[in-house]
Amino acid sequence: MNRNNSFQRSNTRANFLSNLFFHNSLLMWVVVCNLPVAVLNYTNVQEQEVQLIDLESRRSGESSELRLIHTNSGVFKNSDTFWWFKFNSSDVQSKLIQAKQSGKKVRIKTVGTRIPLFSHYPNILEIH
């Protein structure tokens, strides 16, 4: 009986180590696959001239608001971002509204990439 009990403990230990290895491998795979996406989202800075088509605000909850800007070059968002020290999204939105009303093309500086799976849009940093 002692021998059988010892076998059960070693088998349980082997299962635990196998599960631990599997979960750590899975975690590493997720991190490695998402690392390029994260780097692209914070380093892919572009500047382009666009024609504004529509400005949209989506609310989710009391204080969360997503400002989407539809242009001839795609859809962008306008939000504050700590990473780029951008805390003037209201001022940028005001400039976008003025530019849309005038019908002029504007030059925007954006960061990030469009990832439809996560509903992620490039963020407008500046407008000229």
Report the first-to-last Cα separation within the chain, whole angstroms: 81
Q: What is the pLDDT of residues 44-61, one digit of tens each?
A: 899 999 999 999 988 877
CB 34 within 8 A of CB 112: no
Can you tell me which residue has the tokens 């082997």? 14
The predicted structure's pLDDT at residue 10: 53
What pLDDT is attached to residue 7?
A: 46
Q: pTM value?
A: 0.69
8 Å CB contact between 110 and 96: no
Query: What gap in Å lies between CA 71 and CA 10, rounded to an integer?
Result: 63
pLDDT value for 59: 80
**Residue 52 to residues 25, 42, 75: CA-CA distances in angstroms?**
45, 24, 10
Tens place of pLDDT for every residue, the chain, 128 residues? 555 555 455 566 666 656 666 667 777 777 777 777 667 677 789 999 999 999 998 887 777 788 999 999 999 999 998 888 999 999 999 999 999 999 999 999 999 888 888 788 999 999 98
